Amino acid sequence: MNIAVLGAGNMAWHLSKALIHAGHPVKQIWNRTADKAVALALEIGADSITNLNQIDTDIDLIIIAVSDEAIASVAKELKLLPQQLLVHTSGSTVLDVLLPFTQKAGVIYPLQTFSKAVELDFSQIPIGIEAFDESSTQALFNLVKALSTKTYYINSQQRLILHTAAVFACNFTNHFYSIAQALMQQSGLDFNLIRPLIQETAAKVQQVLPSEAQTGPAKRNDQLTIQKHLDLLQTNTAWKLLYEQISQDIVKMYAKDTSSLK
Amino acid sequence: MNIAVLGAGNMAWHLSKALIHAGHPVKQIWNRTADKAVALALEIGADSITNLNQIDTDIDLIIIAVSDEAIASVAKELKLLPQQLLVHTSGSTVLDVLLPFTQKAGVIYPLQTFSKAVELDFSQIPIGIEAFDESSTQALFNLVKALSTKTYYINSQQRLILHTAAVFACNFTNHFYSIAQALMQQSGLDFNLIRPLIQETAAKVQQVLPSEAQTGPAKRNDQLTIQKHLDLLQTNTAWKLLYEQISQDIVKMYAKDTSSLK
């Protein structure tokens, strides 16, 4: 399948490179900001286009990888041919958003955190797909199976739930790393001191479920330690409030398990 | 140094095994609940004792690894000899808590998340130490250098800050993995789908700082997606509130960076 990618953000960048790497020709890159399209097109050896009606007639698959609120407006500008398959890559946007424009519609949803600066092994990334009809489903499965060993079908409602879960497990988690970074910087502590802890926290739940891996003052309902931390955080009311609420949530979840000392 | 470990929780368990592994003889284990002391003593080939006045006269180092609120009462029960060094392992307890009982007092603080079921490579764990006098400091450095390649001096106030940072970076992070687990379970999604994302989120900040690795709807100030997630969470008011507050905190932190699409 000849592919055009619309967008040049983190998702477009990583997905295009993975497709090329798997032998799928990504031939055209479009982006609202032209220089970003040029940069990605250069990186993967594709053509950049500045107008959505410049998509070639030999393109079989058009991947919309723009911000969620721009998906419909980008789709609307396309002059689609009957055989062209149109997909988006959004976790929180229903498949139906594409149906006003074509019934050959689908979703490719790689669940991972993408930053341009960090290389990724796409073969280990779970990729969820959804499509409106059976033949599009099959075409998308054939495509993503070349990218990853972990492919699965997921409908729009489940994908929204998965995306919400991912915000907690990835985005909020990284923000908490940032809070740790800020607290440590303020008192001259090297962030390297906490990196092994972060690594091990993620490594543990590769083997067991998070509910089995919980540790810390709130898990032990250790109010003495919790109070010391709250006192330390009193100059940052937002972080103090977060500390209180999350600790309460943990205490509630593990209230019955009071056996362990530490 | 001959060592006695007081406590048989996760910290006592992992530290005792690491000390034995590094060639330091842990000879006695005490715990308020006797059968837990017996279990750990059996595991490492030490003697278990049921009374704090049974500590042998040839013990050089006594490690208190009990819950924070029990440290002082355990120390008070000891009949210390002048040459015996007394340390605790608490992140949030000052060194001074031991000074009423001896001036040969210190702290050994391995910064890691300990679960009995998960084996650990102690050599990669940063170990902070603190002691009241110079000779105790030297003795503790000599000890922990056999355990880990990452040893450093840290005072009580810095240790409290580091422990607070660790609660965010580890304990709260793991709780958010649990929230993801719960959301996914409710709709029949396999937790394996999100494990690579968790791994990569932690792996990224081994290379860059968390403030450089942030992604997600709040980072992009994508209010459309945020609202969809809040709607999904409306049946769980605690998690909805957390989602709102953390998103606000992220939006605030990255407010100036509005250039990236995704």
The 10s digit of each residue's pLDDT in A11-40 is 999 999 999 999 999 999 999 999 999 999
**Rounded distance between C-alpha atoms, residue B229 and residue A93, angstroms:** 11
Same domain, B62 and B114: yes
> Is B204 an 8 Å CB contact of chain A?
yes
Q: Is residue A99 part of a domain?
A: yes
Q: Is residue B73 part of a domain?
A: yes
How far, in whole angstroms, is CA B71 from its chain's centroid? Answer: 17
Tokens of A244: 């209180």
Same domain, A137 and A79: yes
CA terminus-to-terminus distance, chain A: 57
A193 Cβ partners below 8 Å, 6+ apart? Answer: A184, B111, B126, B128, B150, B152, B162
Q: Is residue A260 part of a domain?
A: no
DSSP-derived 3-state class of residue B240: helix
DSSP-derived 3-state class of residue A226: helix
Tokens of B174: 């793991």
Q: How many domains does chain A have?
A: 2
B91-138 tens-digit pLDDT? 999 999 999 999 999 999 999 887 776 778 889 899 999 999 999 999
A110-121 tens-digit pLDDT? 998 877 767 788
> Is B217 an 8 Å CB contact of chain A?
yes
Same domain, A67 and A172: no
**Rounded distance between C-alpha atoms, residue A217 and residue B176, angstroms:** 16
From chain B, pick out residues whose CB is under 8 angstroms from the CB of A70: 261
CA terminus-to-terminus distance, chain B: 57
Q: Which of residues B114, B137, B154 is at a domain's end?
A: B154
Enumerate the β-bridge partners of residue B3.
B26, B61
Q: Is residue B262 part of a domain?
A: no
Question: CATH no. for residue A225?
Answer: 1.10.1040.20
Confidence of residue A259 (pLDDT cuts 50, 70, 90): very low
**Rounded distance between C-alpha atoms, residue B242 and residue B214, angstroms:** 18
Same domain, B141 and B182: no
**pLDDT value at residue A262:** 36
Q: What residues of chain B, 46 to 65, have a C-beta less than 8 Å from chain A?
A: 65
Tokens of A91: 């976790």
Q: Is residue B59 part of a domain?
A: yes
* Tokens 């990605």 sit on residue: A40
B217-257 tens-digit pLDDT? 999 899 999 999 999 999 999 999 999 999 999 999 998 65
- Structural domain for B139, as ranges: 3-154
Candidates A113, A167, A241; nearest CB to B217: A167
Mean pLDDT of B201-228: 94
Q: Looking at chain B, how many residues does it have?
A: 262
**Run of H or E including B27:** strand B26-30
Between B43 and B113, residue with greater pLDDT: B43
Q: Which of residues A110, A126, A154 is at a domain's end?
A: A154
**A180 and B166: CB-CB below 8 Å?**
yes
CB A63 within 8 A of CB A3: yes
Mean pLDDT of B28-42: 97
Same domain, A16 and A146: yes
Q: Is residue B107 part of a domain?
A: yes
Candidates A120, A168, A179; nearest CB to B176: A168
A39-77 tens-digit pLDDT? 999 999 999 999 999 999 999 999 999 999 999 999 999
User: Phi and psi for A209 in degrees, rounded to 5?
Assistant: -80, 150
Same domain, A126 and A221: no
Question: CATH no. for residue A41?
Answer: 3.40.50.720
Q: Is residue A50 part of a domain?
A: yes
Same domain, A111 and A18: yes
Q: Which of residues B154, B183, B218 is at a domain's end?
A: B154
Same domain, A206 and A224: yes
Same domain, A24 and A121: yes
ipTM score for this prediction: 0.91
Q: Is residue A261 part of a domain?
A: no
A197-251 tens-digit pLDDT? 999 999 999 999 999 999 999 998 999 999 999 999 999 999 999 999 999 999 9
Tokens of B15: 């530290």
Same domain, B101 and B164: no
CB A78 within 8 A of CB A102: no
Using alpha carbons, list the distances in angstroms from residue A52 to A73, B70, B192, B203, B247. 11, 69, 38, 37, 33
Same domain, A166 and A238: yes
**Rounded distance between C-alpha atoms, residue B127 and residue B1, angstroms:** 18
> Is B240 an 8 Å CB contact of chain A?
no
Same domain, A141 and A236: no
Confidence of residue B262 (pLDDT cuts 50, 70, 90): very low
**B178 and A11: CB-CB below 8 Å?**
no
CB B190 within 8 A of CB B167: no
